[in-house]
Protein backbone atom coordinates (compact mmCIF):
# COMPACT_ATOMS: atom_id res chain seq x y z
CA UNK A 1 0.00 0.00 0.00
CA UNK A 2 1.38 3.41 -0.98
CA UNK A 3 1.17 6.40 1.30
CA UNK A 4 -0.70 9.50 0.14
CA UNK A 5 2.44 11.55 -0.38
CA UNK A 6 3.88 8.92 -2.74
CA UNK A 7 0.63 8.82 -4.71
CA UNK A 8 0.67 12.61 -4.98
CA UNK A 9 4.27 12.78 -6.18
CA UNK A 10 3.64 9.98 -8.69
CA UNK A 11 0.64 11.88 -10.04
CA UNK A 12 2.59 15.14 -10.24
CA UNK A 13 5.47 13.46 -12.07
CA UNK A 14 3.67 13.60 -15.41
CA UNK A 15 3.46 16.90 -17.34
CA UNK A 16 0.04 16.03 -18.78
CA UNK A 17 -1.39 15.61 -15.30
CA UNK A 18 0.25 18.82 -14.12
CA UNK A 19 -1.33 20.63 -17.09
CA UNK A 20 -4.72 19.20 -16.14
CA UNK A 21 -4.27 20.43 -12.58
CA UNK A 22 -3.26 23.86 -13.87
CA UNK A 23 -6.49 23.98 -15.87
CA UNK A 24 -8.52 22.90 -12.86
CA UNK A 25 -6.89 25.58 -10.72
CA UNK A 26 -8.95 28.05 -12.80
CA UNK A 27 -12.21 26.27 -11.96
CA UNK A 28 -14.29 23.17 -12.52
CA UNK A 29 -14.07 21.51 -15.95
CA UNK A 30 -15.68 18.44 -17.41
CA UNK A 31 -13.67 15.53 -18.75
CA UNK A 32 -14.11 16.48 -22.39
CA UNK A 33 -12.85 20.02 -21.73
CA UNK A 34 -9.83 18.64 -19.89
CA UNK A 35 -9.16 16.17 -22.70
CA UNK A 36 -9.43 18.68 -25.56
CA UNK A 37 -5.82 20.02 -25.48
CA UNK A 38 -4.38 16.49 -25.43
CA UNK A 39 -6.46 14.68 -28.03
CA UNK A 40 -4.06 15.43 -30.89
CA UNK A 41 -1.31 13.54 -29.01
CA UNK A 42 -3.26 10.85 -27.14
CA UNK A 43 -6.51 8.96 -27.13
CA UNK A 44 -9.47 9.71 -24.87
CA UNK A 45 -8.84 6.46 -22.92
CA UNK A 46 -5.27 7.67 -22.23
CA UNK A 47 -6.62 10.99 -20.95
CA UNK A 48 -9.08 9.08 -18.78
CA UNK A 49 -6.20 7.06 -17.29
CA UNK A 50 -4.43 10.30 -16.38
CA UNK A 51 -7.59 11.54 -14.68
CA UNK A 52 -7.88 8.28 -12.74
CA UNK A 53 -4.32 8.71 -11.45
CA UNK A 54 -5.16 12.24 -10.31
CA UNK A 55 -8.36 11.01 -8.71
CA UNK A 56 -6.64 8.11 -6.94
CA UNK A 57 -4.07 10.55 -5.53
CA UNK A 58 -6.94 12.70 -4.26
CA UNK A 59 -5.86 15.68 -6.38
CA UNK A 60 -9.21 15.88 -8.16
CA UNK A 61 -12.77 14.93 -7.47
CA UNK A 62 -15.00 13.81 -10.30
CA UNK A 63 -18.76 13.89 -10.03
CA UNK A 64 -21.58 12.88 -12.33
CA UNK A 65 -24.19 15.30 -13.60
CA UNK A 66 -26.34 13.73 -16.31
CA UNK A 67 -23.90 12.97 -19.17
CA UNK A 68 -21.22 15.33 -17.79
CA UNK A 69 -18.31 14.38 -15.54
CA UNK A 70 -17.25 17.63 -13.85
CA UNK A 71 -13.80 17.57 -12.26
CA UNK A 72 -12.61 19.82 -9.50
CA UNK A 73 -9.19 20.44 -7.98
CA UNK A 74 -8.67 19.22 -4.42
CA UNK A 75 -5.83 21.20 -2.84
CA UNK A 76 -5.38 19.09 0.30
CA UNK A 77 -2.75 16.73 -1.19
CA UNK A 78 -0.87 19.74 -2.59
CA UNK A 79 -0.82 21.27 0.89
CA UNK A 80 0.61 17.99 2.22
CA UNK A 81 3.39 18.19 -0.40
CA UNK A 82 4.04 21.80 0.54
CA UNK A 83 4.27 20.92 4.24
CA UNK A 84 6.66 18.06 3.50
CA UNK A 85 8.85 20.27 1.34
CA UNK A 86 8.94 23.06 3.91
CA UNK A 87 11.50 21.21 6.03
CA UNK A 88 13.85 21.09 3.06
CA UNK A 89 13.33 24.76 2.26
CA UNK A 90 14.38 25.58 5.83
CA UNK A 91 17.43 23.29 5.45
CA UNK A 92 18.54 25.01 2.23
CA UNK A 93 17.99 28.49 3.60
CA UNK A 94 20.09 27.65 6.65
CA UNK A 95 22.77 26.13 4.40
CA UNK A 96 22.88 29.24 2.23
CA UNK A 97 23.08 31.44 5.33
CA UNK A 98 26.07 29.43 6.58
CA UNK A 99 27.70 29.64 3.15
CA UNK A 100 27.16 33.40 3.08
CA UNK A 101 28.80 33.77 6.48
CA UNK A 102 31.73 31.61 5.40
CA UNK A 103 32.23 33.59 2.21
CA UNK A 104 32.23 36.84 4.19
CA UNK A 105 35.01 35.54 6.43
CA UNK A 106 37.06 34.29 3.46
CA UNK A 107 36.60 37.57 1.62
CA UNK A 108 37.54 39.67 4.64
CA UNK A 109 40.65 37.52 5.26
CA UNK A 110 41.72 37.99 1.61
CA UNK A 111 41.20 41.74 1.86
CA UNK A 112 43.18 41.89 5.10
CA UNK A 113 45.99 39.80 3.57
CA UNK A 114 46.08 42.01 0.49
CA UNK A 115 46.47 45.16 2.60
CA UNK A 116 49.40 43.77 4.58
CA UNK A 117 51.23 42.55 1.47
CA UNK A 118 50.74 45.81 -0.37
CA UNK A 119 52.47 48.01 2.27
CA UNK A 120 55.95 49.42 1.84
CA UNK A 121 58.47 49.13 4.65
**pTM of structure:** 0.72
Q: 100 lies in a domain?
A: no
Which CATH number do you get for residue 18? 1.10.10.10
| CA-to-CA separations, 12 to 2, 55, 65, 88, in angstroms, rounded | 15, 12, 27, 18
Nearest Cα to Cα of residue 80 among 16, 17, 9, 1: 9
Split into its structural domains, the chain has a count of 1
In a domain, 88, yes or no: no
pLDDT of residue 71: 94
Residue 48 lies in a domain: yes
How far apart CA 18 and CA 62 sit, in angstroms, is 17
CB 51 within 8 A of CB 62: yes
Q: Which domain holds residue 53?
A: 4-76
pLDDT digits over 48-96, tens only?
999 999 999 999 998 887 778 899 999 999 999 999 888 888 888 888 8
pLDDT digits (tens, 9 = 90+) for 95-120: 888 888 888 888 877 777 777 665 55
Domain assignment present for residue 112? The answer is no
Angstrom distance (rounded) from CA 24 to CA 71: 8
Mean pLDDT of the chain: 88
Query: Is 106 contained in some domain?
Result: no
Size of the chain, expressed as the number of residues it contains: 121
Amino acid sequence: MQDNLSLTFAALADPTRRAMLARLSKGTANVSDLAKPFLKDMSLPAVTKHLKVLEKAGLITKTKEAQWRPCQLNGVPLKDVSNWMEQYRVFWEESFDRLEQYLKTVTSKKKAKGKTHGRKK
